[in-house]
Amino acid sequence: MSTQKIALVTGANKGLGFAICRQLGQKGFTVLLGARDTKRGQAAAAELVQQGLDVRFLHIDMEDPATFETACACIRQEFGGRLDVLVNNAGIALDWGYKADSVPMAMLRRTFETNFFGLIDLTQRLLPFILRSPAGRIVNQSSVLGSLSLHSNPEAGLEQMKAFAYNASKTALNAFTIHLAQALQDTAVKVNSAHPGDVQTDANKHGQITVTDGAKTAVRLAMLPADGPTGGCFHLDKSLPW
């Protein structure tokens, strides 16, 4: 089995996911760039290959579990069924402007299907591969907006950030992080949630930091040493409240 470290990043044809792929590639990983849109994913992978990085496109649609099994088959065939890092970066934010008293149920269900149910399905399928790694790492791209402690604090400054579907999906994702970390506590795998910061993306055009800086937290958690934390939520090296 190759000693080359393998990382899979979902939702990676642009923005944060693309920046995470670039940074992991620069650190010597073979990176599987997961994306829903084949044409855009292939173009993104080709751009990073032109920069001298070992990056390969992998078709993953968080709303199509059939693509999960195809991805597993690829990892099994190409890399001997081993995966060192999974960055669950793919996610959607549909409900800005809707609060808990008005969010349409279809929007709520679709948000959870992508940000929570699909993510867990994919992670469970890939877990046997991650357990084969001597230092498996799972990074769940979360948000400070998933913090119940901060949302319940009127001084936290989140009054205008009450998009219930998105926020609740990240709260649920944080619960998955805690439970999965505890389930794997007797293994070498570490599971953590990452808050990238107020990143300027297509969905947040007024963000305060670049995607390059926003990617740093996930990359740090993907490369934690053996004595690093598990079951936490972090921005860079700072622990955040649940």
The residue type of 151 is H
The pLDDT, as a whole number, for residue 203 is 64
Under DSSP, the state recorded for 150 is H
Catalytic residue among 29, 68, 129, 166: 166
The pLDDT, as a whole number, for residue 199 is 82
Q: Which two tokens stand for residue 61?
A: 């649609």
Please provide the DSSP assignment of 68-80 as one string.
Answer: HHHHHHHHHHHHT
What share of residues in the chain are helix, strand, coil (percent, to 5)? 45, 15, 40
Q: What is the CATH number of domain 6-239?
A: 3.40.50.720
What pTM did the predictor assign?
0.95
Q: What does the pLDDT look like over 176-226, one tens digit per residue?
A: 999 999 999 999 999 999 999 988 776 666 778 899 999 999 999 999 999
Q: What does the pLDDT look like over 56-111, one tens digit per residue?
A: 999 999 999 999 999 999 999 999 999 999 999 999 999 988 999 999 999 999 99
Token pair 């969905």 is found at: 203
**98 in catalytic set:** no
Q: What does the pLDDT look like over 33-51, one tens digit per residue?
A: 999 999 999 999 999 999 9
Q: Which helix (H) or strand (E) holds 9?
A: strand 6-9
Rounded CA gap, 93 and 79, in Å? 33
Contact yes or no for 173/111 (Cβ under 8 A): no
On the question of pLDDT at 3 being above 80, the answer is no
